Amino acid sequence: MENRIPLLGEKFPAMTVKTTQGEKNYPDDLKGKWFVFFSHPADFTPVCTTEFYSFEQKADQFRKLGVELVGLSIDQVFSHIKWLEWIEEHLKTTISFPVVADDTGEVAKKLGLIHPGKGTNTVRAVMIVDPDGIIRALLYYPQELGRNIDEILRMVKGLQVATENQVALPANWPENELIKDEVIIPPAADEQTAKERKATYNCYDWWFCHRKL
């Protein structure tokens, strides 16, 4: 697994890590919960600071969905602590989620978070993991572009809806230009089902049917 980006549908690798909130075992400590595991290039950097501030502003919305946040970078615990203290003092925001101190780089290597050409810093990545510890979504950003936290929140909501209802979601859900907040029915597997679909749901055609939740 070393230096390989995980694939969608794979299990989040088991690991024991040091964090700003003590030793943690992932994904076991979050079994039965969704979680967003995200890496940042380094502490005390402007883009990462804006991201942590934004994640914390949305933290309650994530938790209402049963989602935990976990950060990581290749910095020591004391660096994380001092940086979080700086954020609290200067930005009046207390970071409530744990931040993994991967000072050996072993976790980053296991998760493929150190890319060629980017030195030893971790990339700006996001992994959305479901209650079974399965990686459901991956996002990778360049160092110069900060993440859109609202989009990550939308993705979690969408994955939960899709999983619970066995449906797919359209572009820009829940504000799609064609079907608004409705969801897409999986394609029919046979001719009879295809015929029944058009009589049961709203359809553009037998292969494009949708409904309200």
CA distance 150 to 132: 24
Comparing C-alpha atoms, which of 19, 12, 14, 17 is closest to residue 96? 19
Give me 26's structure tokens: 């992932």
Cβ atoms of 136 and 129 closer than 8 Å: yes
Helix (H, G, I), strand (E, B) or coil at 160: helix
Task: Please say if 48 is a catalytic residue.
Answer: yes
Q: Which helix (H) or strand (E) holds 86?
A: helix 77-91
CA distances from 44 to 8, 85, 209, 211 (A): 31, 11, 49, 47
Helices (H) and strands (E) in the chain, counts: 6, 10
Q: Report whether 185 contacts 211 (CB < 8 A).
A: yes
Nearest to 98 by CA among 153, 155, 37, 27: 37
Structure tokens at 209: 């049917």
Active-site residue, selected from the candidate residues 30, 36, 48, 69: 48
- Do the Cβ atoms of 33 and 65 come closer than 8 Å? no
By annotation, the residues acting in catalysis are 48
